[in-house]
Amino acid sequence: MIKNERVIIDGMENVTINIGKITTEEALAEEEWEPMGPTPKPGILSLRNWDHRLLKDFPPFYAPICDMCCLCTYGKCDLTENRKGACGIGIEAQQARMVLIACCIGTAAHAGHANHVLHELIRWHGSDHPIDLGPYIDVEAPIIRTVVGTIPKTLGDLEEILNYVNQQLVHALSSTHTGQEGSFIDFESKALHVSMIDNLAKEVADIAQIAGFDFPKGDPDAALIDFGFGSVDRTKPIIVFIGHYPAVSVATIDYIEERGLSDKIEVCGICCTAIETSRYSASAKVIGPLSMQQFFVRSGIADVLVLDEQCVRTDLLEEAQKTGAPLILTTDKICYNLPDVTSQDPDKVVADLLNGTPGVLISDPHKAAKVITETALKMKPKRDGLNHLPELDEVQKLAEECIKCGWCDRACPNSLPVKDAMIQAKEGDFGGLSNLFSPCMSCGRCESECKKELPIISMILKSAQEIAFGETYTMRAGRGPVLDTEIRKVGAPLVLGEIPGIVALVGCSNFPNGEVEVAKIAEEFARRNYIVVATGCSAMAMAMYRCEDGQTLYEKYPGSFDAGGVVNIGSCVANAHIIGAAIKVAAIFARIPLRGNFEEIADYILNKVGACGVAWGAMSQKAASIGTGTNRWGIPVIVGPHGSKYRRAYISNKELSEWELYDKRAGKVVEGEPAPEHLMYPAETMEEAIVLIAKFCIRPSDNAKGRQIKLSNYVDLHKKYMGTLPPDLHLFVRNERDIPITMKSEVMEYLEEAGWEPRKAIGDPSRLVPEEEV
């Protein structure tokens, strides 16, 4: 078969012979940009040794959330006390299998997004549309270069990469079928593999978006966007986009602009579609992260609700109907049994929606844009004057119905004191309910449990109306990739430790105590001159906070990828650029070839780039694959306490482990150090996480000055939150030159007590022992 100038031989679909291209200059340049490394387009087995090496230092720790398996009709199988399932699987392998399933789901969601957006953009611009990331990025697509071994030049080039993504996903998922893999270590290796594929899919998605929607190309001064319920002008028709896939919001903004309606309509977003939309138009408003979803829908502010894909509440049809706002679905991922009206006359669809059709599905973004805009314009007057939240005296009356059973508290994922708040509200004191607004993530589990069917979320929102509607914050629009020029500046100080680390706040908003903790973590490390980067719901959560001087974090700290910067990289798919920045340190500062060279790059990052991911509100399967993929690249991740429900962490046992590293300079295996100590760690509190972030940024490559800076942060934070010097400090002091000067006497005293002996810093630390020396 000949397809796109390529001969594909039956049964050898992976082998392609290019005709007419091989001699072109472009193809030669492609051949020459770097020699091909050992693992282009790795399969499940290609990087298995690397995974096993990682898992030797950071073995999986399993905490089953369910003692059974019910995946096939042999089950349910009880896996307690060494029992095996009917298929022969034991509890550890079953946990690893469930983790792999979660990582496959996460990867599928990102790959689905990538496939979807790429094909839409090819429809808009053609497959020859160039990928140009601007004058300051030469090493574009670092994940694609490292994993696949190509440099995509056009949207069409990304298709081939997605073919590889889709193929790997199928293989990984298939191994979870009953009676395939039986080893927990190899399930983990597959989870690491498919999660690296997740990272690759995200890079494809965001590069396509930057090229196709002309999103910012790494602009440190990306616009400051108005943020929060309070930023919305409620005198105008209001459209709200929820989800992740920006084609529809972009098409809607274009439609609105083309008709000169820009100052007549409010376009807002929740979750990642909000970030994406603000990357396209600075006048779009960001309502907030996922945790604000139900609050905002209940407020009834939206005249039209538009859903695309990923992390959207599944009951929004019901909720939208309560407020009289029509619901418009725009992708095949969410259909809610609504009619697909894509081929109908848009004017008729608008008329139907105005006449009470609760919702429709329109899969063409441009048609959807017209329906959304016209419906919002005409819906607004119909909805004016409607009141969607109970008045305070009604809140009190509702609270009087409460029978104080306390099941709400017990249903709440964070065990929030809803019952006590109800008891207060009965007496006309709404303080308790109002205090719930910040830690509540509007999940609605309390309402589902309440026998009196009290609308608890609406009662909380009404009681907190001044906080909820009174504030407008700002968020810097997602800037996209880190510039090569920035990497050139920070590469050396990062590897030597003089910039103490990159703190990456990523992932969902299943926070244990509300959004404020993410902001506090960011502030703590920005003040200490770490590079703070953020994406997705965490980037939005950080916006909902004012520093002591009244500024938001994005106003106070620069948006450059540099010491003391607070950088909004973008949405969930833009996470790829954070890993990309670590890869670019290896490529630009250390000049390590990327092409098909995963192991060497990941080894470099693990031992030399002091970065720590923090997914404080990790909730979704996407967060599972984001985190696990980040781990495979050698970056440790701290999750919030809810993250323990992923049922697997990667935890070293520093009392029992031997930390062996290979010193490439000395050519021998040497005593290493627990730096980083763990690879995937659920922390119990924000304060614990803060101390650990400082510790997890320590790397064997730190020079004495860098180690001093990192240790002074670690010691200082440990004293601040734990009251003492760190009890494991001796493990991180190699010799006296590592001790922060201002702390010398107390640290020396401590070290003497701990029986510390000086040791040599490792010249060129690695976890890869050359084969001839094994």
Partner 1 sequence: MTRAYQCANVPGPHLGKVGTPASVTSAIKRAERPILIVGSELANLNWALTLAKEQNIPIVATAHVAGTIAEMGANPDRVLGAIEITNLLKSPEWSGIRGEGQHDLAIFVDVLYYLEAQMLSALKHFAPHIKTISLTKGHQPNANQSLPNLSKKKLGEFLAEVAEGLAK
Residues that bind partner 1 (CB under 8 A): 61-68, 78, 80-81, 91-92, 407, 410-411, 413, 415, 449, 512, 641-642, 644-645, 647, 649, 651, 653, 655-656, 681-685, 687-688, 691-692, 720-724, 727
Stretch that binds ligand SF4, among 5-13, 330-338, 406-414, 702-710 (CB under 6 A): 406-414
Structure tokens at 416: 């929030």
Q: Among residues 161 and 422, whose Cβ is nearest to ligand SF4?
A: 422
Q: How far apart are CA 504 and CA 516, in angstroms?
A: 16
Helix (H, G, I), strand (E, B) or coil at 728: coil
Q: Using CB under 6 A, which of 191, 208, 362, 454 touches ligand SF4?
A: 454
**Residues 158-187 as x/- pattern, contact with ligand SF4 by CB under 6 A:** --------------------x---------
Pick between residue 306 and residue 614 the one whose CB is nearest to partner 1. 614
Region at 743 (left for phi over 0; alpha for psi -120 to 50; beta for the rest): alpha
Query: Which amino acid is it at 312?
Result: V
Q: Is 408 helix (H, G, I), strand (E, B) or coil?
A: helix
Nearby residues of 769 by Cβ (< 8 Å), 6 or more positions away:
662, 669
What amino acid occupies position 583? I
Are 622 and 572 a contacting pair, CB within 8 Å?
yes
The smaller minimum CB distance to ligand SF4, of residues 71 and 329, is found at 71
Q: Give dist(CA 166, CA 107) in Å, integer.
A: 9
CB of 681 to partner 1, least distance (A): 7
Residue 15: contacted member of partner 1, ligand SF4, none (CB under 5 to 8 Å, by partner type): none
452 vs 760 by CB, closer to ligand SF4: 452
CB-wise, 109 or 411, nearer to partner 1?
411
3-class secondary structure, 15: coil
Q: Are 151 and 594 in contact (CB under 8 A)?
A: no
By CB under 6 A, tell whether 29 contacts ligand SF4: no
Question: Quick one: tokens of 243?
Answer: 């989800």
- Of 74, 335, 744, 770, the residue at the interface with ligand SF4 (CB under 6 A) is 74
Least distance (Å) from partner 1 to the CB of residue 610? 20
Phi, psi of 690 (to 5 degrees): -60, -45
506: contact with ligand SF4 by CB under 6 A: no
**Which of partner 1, ligand SF4, none lies near 727, with the C-beta cut-off 5 to 8 A by kind?**
partner 1
What does the DSSP 8-state code read for residue 589?
I
Query: Running DSSP on this structure, what letter comes out for residue 271?
Result: T
Smallest gap, in angstroms, from Cβ of residue 299 to ligand SF4?
14
Closest CA to 208 of 130, 310, 309: 130
Is 91 among the residues that bind ligand SF4 (CB under 6 A)?
no
Helix (H) or strand (E) holding 168: helix 155-174
The stretch near ligand SF4 (CB under 6 A) out of 39-47, 80-88, 305-313, 536-544 is: 80-88
CA dihedral 433, 434, 435, 438 (to 10 degrees): 120
Closer residue to ligand SF4, CB minimum distance, 171 or 426: 426
Nearer to ligand SF4, 99 or 416 (CB): 416
Burial class (CB in 10 A: 0-12, 13-18, 19+), 366: middle
Min separation Cβ 457 and ligand SF4, Å: 5
Min dist. Cβ of residue 517 to partner 1 (A): 13
Name which of 586 and 691 has its Cβ closer to partner 1. 691
Count of C-beta atoms within a 10 Å radius of residue 7 = 13
637 binds, among ligand SF4, partner 1, none (CB under 5 to 8 A by kind): none
φ/ψ (deg, to 5) at 209: -65, -40
Q: In angstroms, give the least distance from the CB of 76 to partner 1.
A: 9
Write down the least CB distance from residue 409 to ligand SF4, Å. Answer: 7
Residue 445 is encoded by which pair of tokens?
């589990």
Burial of 172 (0-12, 13-18, 19+ CB in 10 A): buried
R_g over Cα of the chain: 26
**Closer residue to ligand SF4 in complex, CB, 43/406:** 406
Scanning residues 414 to 443, which ones bind ligand SF4 (CB under 6 A)? Answer: 414, 416, 418-419, 422, 436, 440-443
In 10 A of CB 57, how many CB atoms? 22
Residue of the chain from 26, 356, 385, 404 that contacts ligand SF4 (CB under 6 A):
404
Does residue number 405 form part of the binding site for ligand SF4 (CB under 6 A)?
A: yes
Residue of the chain from 71, 91, 311, 569 that contacts ligand SF4 (CB under 6 A): 71
In this chain, which of 408, 623, 626, 649 binds ligand SF4, going by CB under 6 A?
408
- Let me know: does 675 contact 612? Beta carbons within 8 Å: no
- Does position 99 interact with ligand SF4 (CB under 6 A)? The reply is no
What kind and span of H or E run contains 637? strand 637-639
Residue nearer to ligand SF4 on the CB measure, 377 or 443: 443
Secondary structure letter of residue 514 according to DSSP: -
| Residue 78 binding result from ligand SF4, partner 1, none, given CB thresholds of 5 to 8 Å by partner type | partner 1
The answer to whether 240 and 270 have CB atoms below 8 angstroms apart is yes
Distance CA(164)–CA(12), nearest Å, equals 14
With H, G, I as helix, E, B as strand and everything else as coil, classify residue 355. coil
Q: Candidates 45, 86, 335, 722: give the one binding ligand SF4 (CB under 6 A).
A: 86
Q: Which does 293 bind (CB under 5 to 8 A by kind): ligand SF4, partner 1, none?
A: none
Beta carbon nearer to partner 1, 351 or 651: 651
CA distances from 457 to 390, 433, 453 (A): 11, 9, 11
Residue 416 contact among ligand SF4, partner 1, none, beta carbon within 5 to 8 Å by kind:
ligand SF4
Binds ligand SF4 (CB under 6 A): choice among 8, 64, 87, 664:
87
φ, ψ of residue 358 to 5 degrees: the values are -70, -30
Contact partner at residue 314 from ligand SF4, partner 1, none, CB < 5 to 8 Å by partner kind: none
The answer to whether residue 66 forms part of the interface with ligand SF4 (CB under 6 A) is: no
Q: How far apart are CA 278 and CA 267, in angstroms?
A: 10
The nearer residue to partner 1, 23 or 80, going by C-beta atoms, is: 80
The partner residues of 533 in beta bridges, in order of sequence, read 504, 567
Shortest CB 395 distance to ligand SF4, Å: 12
Closest CA to 244 of 3, 696, 525, 570: 570
For partner 1, the closer CB: 497 or 507: 507
Determine the interface stretch with ligand SF4 among 48-56, 444-452, 584-592, 701-709 (rule: CB under 6 A): 444-452
Asked if 407 is part of the footprint of ligand SF4 (rule: CB under 6 A), the reply reads yes
Among 204, 450, 461, 464, binds ligand SF4 (CB under 6 A): 450
Q: Which stretch binds ligand SF4 (CB under 6 A): 141-149, 154-162, 408-416, 628-636?
A: 408-416
Cβ-proximal residues to 257 (8 Å cutoff; 6+ apart), any chain: none
Assess contact for 271 and 206: CB atoms under 8 A.
no
Residues that bind ligand SF4 in the complex, under the rule CB under 6 A: 69-72, 74-75, 77, 85-87, 89, 178, 402-408, 411-414, 416, 418-419, 422, 436, 440-446, 449-452, 454, 456-457
